[in-house]
Amino acid sequence: MNKNNLLDCPTFLKDFLFYLETIRGLSSRTVDGYYIDLRTFLRFVKMHKLAAFQNTPFEEIPIADVDIALLKTVTLSDIYEYMYFLTSTRENNAATRARKVTSLRTFYKYLTTKANLLSENPVKDLDVPNKKKSLPKYLTLDQSIQLLEHVDSSYPERDYCILTLFLNCGMRLSELVGIDLKDFADSTVRVTGKGNKERILYLNEACMDALNAYLQVRQNISNNIKDRDALFISRNGKRIDKRRVQQIVSASLKSAGLDQMGYSTHKLRHTAATLMYQQGHVDIRVLKEILGHVNIGTTEIYTHVSNEQIKEASTRSPLAHIHKTEKTKKAED
């Protein structure tokens, strides 16, 4: 959590953010997101409820003086006004509004059931805005192979290993850069996902080959390694950062001629999940554990069918090879 965010927070909001980070175990980045969402909400409450702030530029409305007494006046109707404000004035899309509803729900649940500062929860019956459901972008099997054959790098063993782990394990970017050497045991690796939750991933033959090839090269520069625990290190011997991994993926996509298709580091996670489900026939419940999803509903986006599967299904129809006969032609005449 960015400590600067606490400077303009009322006490109850500071306590809530500390609760998210220390008790719920959420990452600093996620906690900062809650802060931004709730700062917007508290600014709206002051603008909506207090005449003195109706003409104040929205971004200049302070929130440090918001008290529980003001929050007690907030009703479900006020929340609907807030949602309309997000749509019409802030121009937030459905996904952003849905995230802010989640922030409000968590916040008010804390105030009513954890801190016992409020007796009524005005958002308990608030619906989440419908989000547009879009299919995840992913590389085909052939494109994935093409990518692995076009590692554009002065450190090819490391970068090939990074791409191989992404495409075979479906790990998140933050999980990959956080891997330490001690996280490996036999043919498994322990990664730390969202909410500091650990899970074990099994490494197949391709992953083990790529990993062993990289570790041999890594050993050759051991005298220059500063972050000795880190698996993936940069040329200066420090743990590789997220931005550098993104650059590696982008360069390889460009080398493979796939850079104009909207693919990114996270799309490699989508690729791994989709190929496991479609071509590896991995059960969705197993896939949920591999990806580290809390709810199976999140995993279900990977159960979409490809155009090729739709085409194949149509050819399997028992009527697929029935053609017009002389009898049917006469009947038409």
Residue 133 pairs in a beta bridge with none
For residue 150, indicate whether it is catalytic. no
> How far apart, in whole angstroms, are the C-alpha atoms of residue 193 and residue 175?
6
The letter for the amino acid at 63 is: I
> How far apart, in whole angstroms, are the C-alpha atoms of residue 306 and residue 275?
11
For residue 239, indicate whether it is catalytic. no
Q: Please identify which of the residues 269, 270, 277, 288 carries the catalytic annotation.
A: 269
Exposure class string for 70-95: b at 16+ Cβ within 10 A, else e:
ebeebeeeebeebbebbeeeeebeee
**Which residue is listed with tokens 């000795």?**
228
For residue 323, indicate whether it is catalytic. no
CA-based nearest residue to 221, from 307, 268, 155: 155
CA-based nearest residue to 99, from 27, 40, 23: 40
For residue 172, indicate whether it is catalytic. yes
For residue 270, indicate whether it is catalytic. no
Length of the chain: 333
CA angle 166, 168, 174 (to 5 degrees): 30
Q: Please identify which of the residues 90, 137, 266, 304 carries the catalytic annotation.
A: 266
Q: Please identify which of the residues 158, 239, 270, 293 carries the catalytic annotation.
A: 293
Longest dimension (CA), the chain: 88
**Which residue is listed with tokens 């409450």?**
45
Q: Please identify which of the residues 109, 194, 199, 238 carries the catalytic annotation.
A: 194
Q: Please identify which of the residues 39, 97, 100, 172 carries the catalytic annotation.
A: 172
Residue 189 pairs in a beta bridge with 184, 201
10 Å Cβ neighbour count for 258?
A: 18
CA-based nearest residue to 295, from 307, 287, 283: 287
For residue 304, indicate whether it is catalytic. no
3-state secondary structure 261-323: CCCCHHHHHHHHHHHHHHCCCCCHHHHHHHHCCCCHHHHHHHHCCCHHHHHHHHHCCCCCCCC
Could you say which DSSP state residue 199 is in? E
Q: Indicate which residues carry an active-site annotation.
A: 172, 194, 266, 269, 293, 302
